[in-house]
Structure 1
Amino acid sequence: MRLLPATLAAAATLALVLGGCSSEDQQSAQDTANNAAESVGDAAQGALSSAQSAAPGIQSSAGSLADDAGTVFDDAKRATFVAAYKAQFSALSEGKSDEDIESLLGSICQQITDGKEKDAVVTDIRSQATNNGNEPGVDEAGRIYDQAKVACP
């Protein structure tokens, strides 16, 4: 973008110089000016082409960074859900691995994504979260639902 003003300034300078030259000198200077302008134009076209070629890569990198940030954020939400579940529902989480609890979260998130009604999801949570004969009550399952909804990607 800075090449155009520089080219115009160079052309204006050459025009002033050409005015004081003989016709042979003017022709030589004109040829030199044309060659210089053509070189600048080629360089500008090359720079533009390079920028256009780089743009998809830059966009891809930016998109990749955004995806990575989203993944990190989703991982953090998942880890927070697991920690909160273990802290609040110790009887339901006893003996369960983080992966087991993440699986429960995944199931809840899928049902929410599928548009299943909250009451139906809460009923499913009650059966899915049952552990060693400990079944969550409706209120507990509702809290699990609310926390899962926030943690869903």
Structure 2
Amino acid sequence: MTGPVAVSAAAPPRGSVDPLYHAPLGGGMRVRTPFNPPADRYGRGHLGVDLTASAGVEVLAAGAATVRFAGPVAGRGVVVLVHPDGVSTVYEPVAAVVAPGQRVLAGQRIGVLRGAHRSCAPAMCLHWGARRGEAYLDPMSLLRPLGVVRLLPWN
């Protein structure tokens, strides 16, 4: 397993109608636990990423979507968004400020981080997952490229 990874993928301005995906947290993100799909259907794995965050931080819609679910699951608040391209994104643990059936825009506040996610406890983090149909996706792969990648010499 790799250590934390810092990613800069700022959320869009609130209310924007951008077809691309953006960070579900304002400012940069720090990946605490990366996506790690299981080797088989019943194997161990991590079907999303855990993003380091503080309690009470705003959680933002990663893209324009319709709220499919917003409520408690096993004692933790969960929000599920369905995007026009068929991707569903999941956010937990979140105290939701949205309701099922509601349409949200990219960067719109969907809740605040509240509670603990089991893979981060006792530290706080936002678990962000994504899937298309039955296939789980690395949600970081949804983010637009951060620009041109250039390899620089060590010296």
TM-score past 0.5 threshold: no
Q: TM-score, normalised by structure 2?
A: 0.22
Q: TM-score, normalised by structure 1?
A: 0.22
Answer 1 or 2: which has greater helix percent.
Answer: 1
Question: Higher Cα Rg: structure 1 or 2?
Answer: 1
* More RCO (CA 8 Å, sep 6+): 2
Answer 1 or 2: which has greater strand percent.
Answer: 2
